[in-house]
Amino acid sequence: PVPRPRGQRCAHGGIGLTTSALKAHRISIVMGSRYQQELWNIFTYYNLQAGGKEPGLMKNSQFQKLCKDCQVTDISSLTAADLTVAFTTQAKRAVKGAVPAIKRRALGSKALTYTDFLELLKEIAPRVYRELA
């Protein structure tokens, strides 16, 4: 494929992307969406499994169950107390607007949205997998 001049529109609507760059971009989107879907499935599974009426909100007990099932405390130096602190910290700095304000006030720092959950995973991952950090 021949690189296009900067700023020139391609047939697919992108600006300046070659065919190979477009294929790589599409592959990354597909891979990203596959993992996003899998994480969403895990998130909702634990919320519904615990009898949660809100599959879009995860409580600390559900997060602790997920970590126990994944043996997070067995393979790392993290304790259940460390996970609770990380959960509460993330819940307090949760993105406003993701959940209606009335519901967020009622829950306080007791629940995470899916986006908050992903941020929490990013936060604890280096502590669980130290060799990859």
Q: Sign (positive/negative) of CA torsion 83, 89, 95, 100?
A: positive
pLDDT, residue 65, reads 93
Buried b (16+ CB within 10 A) or exposed e, 10-42: eeeeeeebeeeeeeeeeeeeeeeeeeeeeeeee
Name the pLDDT band for 49 (thresholds 50, 70, 90).
Answer: confident
The answer to which of 73-77, 109-113, 114-118 has the lowest mean pLDDT is 109-113
Name the pLDDT band for 50 (thresholds 50, 70, 90).
Answer: confident
Q: Is the pTM of this model over 0.75?
A: no
The pLDDT tens digits for 61-93 are 999 999 999 998 888 889 999 999 999 989 887
- What is the Cα–Cα distance from 14 to 6, expressed in whole angstroms? 11
Radius of gyration, alpha carbons of the chain: 20
- What is the Cα–Cα distance from 31 to 73, expressed in whole angstroms? 28
Asked if pLDDT for residue 109 goes beyond 70, the answer is: no
